[in-house]
């Protein structure tokens, strides 16, 4: 079957491009070898957290950021388009209400108790904003690995004063019955929180131990599909502001995002192949004709008028680096820009230091088509989006999901304009 567009990759960039195209009536195939970073990141849309210093308002900082980083993916999309993509995302996440936008970053605690600037966040996280100070009680479960409320509260308490207002935090550990299971992961807890009896038991343990005026942080495991109702019930029963804190992977809020966009894509008529690794492409006369997917019996070519490359960066295998430091784009063999030279430093010494290698990726033209040295489009009908693009340092900038959303949206827009 020939499609209008084949999208490669099921991260935020690929899902966004695919859903937008399907909603506009295109026959879309999304093919991915596995899930993307949605299952690892925090489920927040961080657009720009750091420029020369911490960013309070992406709306105010983006123009000077783009001017200082002309090769950044944001230089290929405008701030108004980033704003439109955020609104688009918010409306697609309807039942999992998202709040915020470009005007103001909120400062949410991570699982380590470090504050992270974020532009658009689930409603269930917003009371964790430490930007206005506050007293926090952090709830943890004995059986939940990799979430340590005492450690988190200790670090959060050290973050203050924030914006001149004091921040204090303490931990509350609870031990609801888990039917004898010693270790339960975030997904296991999320499923249990959808059981009324489990919620009731947790609330009963927590409510006696709260002090008046405290905001209460839970690990982000308060349900999956039922999450909005679970969060509201806990908030209303405890009678105080309750918020979720992203855990280490797997990320329940990210899985909610993946599920909502995937379901919307199916409803819009999109076809999805998960577990399909694209191993090559067929090209002809400056156009991509089809992409070749590994299948049980023999490789299958999926042909289309347009293609979107949204295979992520090093984390998802869209880019790979060999032991000589040579970086390769894995499907089309596209040129990779931004790779440090042999004499240059590739990685900084510390985790949070600059890592020049993270800027490596595919350079694109104004329509997000992979481009050669002179900026010329290499294939007329191939567009790229997300973490596979060159020029960003998402970890330092806190821009990863903002880039994927905005460029996924923009790649679809470019295709829709061409299709007119
Ligand atoms: C642990 C972790 C935490 C993060 N935390 C933050 C954060 O706090 N803030 C922030 O801004 N950003 C964060 N990021 C970065 C952000 O999540 C990513 O930059 C962004 O989500 C990337 O989305 P993407 O769609 O471009 O790519 P990905 O989500 O990486 O998706 C790539 C997709 O392509 C598929 N794929 C790859 N190769 C092939 C192939 N050959 N054939 C078929 N499919 C293929 C993969 O299976 C996957 O579905 C984090 C990332 C990670 C890993």
Question: How many angstroms separate the Cα of 68 from the Cα of each of 18, 47, 75, 370, 407?
Answer: 31, 16, 10, 22, 19
Question: Does 330 have pLDDT greater than 80?
Answer: yes
- pLDDT > 90 fraction of the chain, expressed in percent and rounded: 86
| Token pair recorded at residue 102 | 């470009």
Mean of the per-residue pLDDT values of the chain:
94
Which pLDDT belongs to residue 296?
A: 83
Cβ atoms < 10 Å from Cβ of 68: 11
Q: Closest Cα to atom 4, ligand 1: which residue?
A: 41
Mean predicted confidence (pLDDT) in 306-320: 96
Which pLDDT belongs to residue 267?
A: 97
Q: Closest Cα to atom 39, ligand 1: which residue?
A: 311
Mean predicted confidence (pLDDT) in 165-192: 90
261-304 pLDDT per residue, tens? 999 999 999 999 999 999 999 999 999 999 999 988 889 999 99
Distance 39 CA to ligand 1 centre (A): 9
- For ligand 1, say whether the CB of 14 is within 6 Å of any of its atoms: yes
Q: Closest Cα to atom 41, ligand 1: which residue?
A: 278
C-beta of residue 320 within 8 angstroms of C-beta of residue 326: no
Pocket residue to mutate for ligand 1, from 261, 387, 392, most atoms within 8 A of Cβ: 387
Which pLDDT belongs to residue 63?
A: 97
Q: Is the omega angle on the peptide bond into residue 20 within 30 degrees of 0, that is, cis?
A: no
- For ligand 1, say whether the CB of 309 is within 6 Å of any of its atoms: no
> Across the strands, what pairs with 109?
115
Cβ atoms < 10 Å from Cβ of 286: 11
- For ligand 1, say whether the CB of 278 is within 6 Å of any of its atoms: yes
Which pLDDT belongs to residue 420?
A: 67
3-state class of 31 per DSSP? strand
- For ligand 1, say whether the CB of 252 is within 6 Å of any of its atoms: no
> How many angstroms separate the CA atoms of 17 and 407, rounded?
8
Q: What is the pTM of this model?
A: 0.97
Question: Does 1 have pLDDT greater than 70?
Answer: no
Which pLDDT belongs to residue 350?
A: 85
Atom nearest to 116 CA in ligand 1? 8
Question: Does 387 have pLDDT greater than 70?
Answer: yes
Question: Does 325 have pLDDT greater than 90?
Answer: no
Distance 277 CA to ligand 1 centre (A): 15
Q: Indicate the range of 34-38, 129-133, 365-369, 411-415 predicted with least confidence.
A: 129-133
- For ligand 1, say whether the CB of 35 is within 6 Å of any of its atoms: yes
């Amino acid at each position: 079957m020939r499609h209008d567009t084949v999208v490669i990759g099921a991260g935020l960039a690929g899902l966004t491009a695919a859903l937008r195209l399907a909603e506009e009536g295109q026959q879309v195939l999304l093919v991915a070898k596995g899930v993307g970073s949605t299952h690892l990141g925090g489920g927040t849309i961080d657009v720009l957290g750091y420029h020369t210093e911490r960013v309070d308002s992406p709306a105010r900082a983006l123009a000077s950021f783009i001017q200082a980083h002309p090769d950044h993916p944001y230089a290929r999309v405008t701030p108004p388009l980033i704003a439109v993509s955020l609104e688009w995302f918010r409306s697609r996440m309807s039942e999992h209400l998202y709040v915020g936008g470009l005007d103001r970053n909120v400062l949410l605690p991570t699982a380590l108790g470090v504050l992270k600037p974020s532009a658009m966040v689930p409603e269930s996280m917003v009371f964790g904003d430490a930007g206005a100070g506050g007293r926090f009680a952090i709830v943890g479960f004995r059986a939940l690995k990799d979430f340590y409320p005492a450690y988190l509260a200790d670090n959060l308490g050290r973050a203050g004063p924030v914006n001149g207002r004091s921040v204090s935090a303490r931990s509350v550990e609870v031990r609801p019955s888990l039917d004898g299971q010693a270790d339960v992961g975030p997904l296991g807890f999320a499923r249990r929180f959808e059981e009324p009896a489990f919620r009731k038991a947790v609330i009963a343990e927590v409510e006696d131990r709260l002090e008046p005026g405290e905001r209460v942080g839970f690990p982000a495991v308060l349900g999956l599909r039922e999450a909005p109702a679970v969060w509201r019930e806990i908030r209303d029963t405890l009678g105080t502001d309750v918020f979720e804190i992203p855990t280490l992977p797997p990320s329940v809020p990210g899985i909610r995002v993946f599920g909502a966009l995937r379901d919307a894509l199916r409803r819009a008529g999109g076809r999805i192949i998960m577990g399909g690794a694209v191993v090559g492409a067929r090209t002809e006369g400056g156009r991509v004709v089809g992409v070749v997917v590994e299948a049980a019996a023999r490789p299958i070519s999926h042909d289309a008028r347009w293609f979107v490359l949204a295979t992520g960066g090093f984390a998802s295998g869209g880019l790979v680096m060999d032991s000589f430091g040579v970086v390769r784009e894995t499907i089309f063999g596209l040129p990779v820009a931004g790779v440090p030279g042999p004499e240059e430093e590739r990685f900084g010494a510390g985790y949070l230091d600059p890592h020049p290698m993270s800027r490596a990726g595919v350079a694109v033209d104004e329509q997000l088509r992979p481009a050669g040295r002179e900026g010329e489009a290499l294939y007329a009908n191939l567009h790229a989006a997300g973490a596979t693009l060159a020029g960003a340092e998402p970890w330092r900038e806190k821009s990863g999901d903002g880039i994927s959303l905005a460029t996924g949206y923009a790649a679809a827009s470019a295709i829709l304009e061409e299709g007119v």
